[in-house]
């Protein structure tokens, strides 16, 4: 494992947190617990974007999705009064297991950082971003990859949010 870069280890940590948060959101019985697990997934995705040196997309992920969309979902939960059954599912075995694995991976990452010199390697993203901004301006440097290279994930995210809102409305209508 001598050629194991620190950025790759952090990617695995945040990817496992994102997947664990998604599973916790799906299997949580409490809507507020599901919302908190979804926030964990969103913040983990933002951290992955930072590792990819897509700082603007990470900021948008935190501001728009973890901020505004989660507040919207919280208001929907509060208006529909879905949080009235109190289960201690946030502290179940999945949460404890996720915390243990994450703490172990973060501890390993810190050990590798301080024990091995030269573990953190620059990947040259700043030079690519500077060249892109010079050629296309700041808006074009963001918009061109977003709407050319990442159009399908961008659209799938929008469809996923639409399905989530429609599903929440159908579940609420069935109970009322």
Rounded Cα–Cα distance for residues 21 and 5 (Å): 25
Residues 129, 102, single domain; the answer is no
CA angle 59-46-121, nearest 5°? 105
Residues 88, 8, single domain; the answer is yes
Q: Count structural domains, the chain.
A: 2
State the average pLDDT over residues 57-72. 83
46 and 61 Cβ atoms separated by less than 8 Å? yes
Predicted pLDDT of residue 168: 78
User: What secondary structure letter does DSSP report for 116?
Assistant: S
Residues 129, 115, single domain; the answer is no
Predicted pLDDT of residue 125: 65
Residue 175 has pLDDT above 70, yes or no: no
CATH number, position 65: 1.20.120.1200
Predicted pLDDT of residue 86: 54
Residues 111, 128, single domain; the answer is no
Single residue among 95, 121, 147 that ends a domain in this structure: 121
């Amino acid at each position: 494992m001598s050629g194991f870069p620190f950025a790759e280890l952090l990617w695995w940590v945040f990817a496992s947190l994102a997947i664990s948060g998604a599973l916790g959101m799906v299997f949580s019985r409490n809507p507020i617990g599901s919302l908190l697990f979804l926030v964990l997934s969103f913040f983990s995705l933002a951290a992955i974007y930072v590792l990819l040196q897509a700082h603007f997309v990470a900021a948008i992920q935190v501001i728009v999705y973890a901020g505004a969309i989660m507040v919207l979902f919280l208001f929907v939960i509060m208006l529909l009064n879905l949080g009235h059954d109190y289960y201690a599912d946030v502290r179940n075995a999945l949460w404890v297991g996720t915390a243990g694995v994450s703490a172990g991976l973060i501890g390993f990452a810190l050990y590798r950082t301080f024990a091995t010199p030269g573990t953190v390697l620059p990947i040259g993203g700043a030079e690519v971003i500077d060249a892109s901004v010079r050629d296309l301006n700041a808006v074009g440097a963001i918009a061109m990859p977003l709407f050319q290279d990442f159009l399908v994930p961008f659209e799938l995210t929008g469809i996923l949010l639409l399905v989530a809102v429609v599903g929440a409305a159908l579940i609420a209508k069935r109970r009322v």
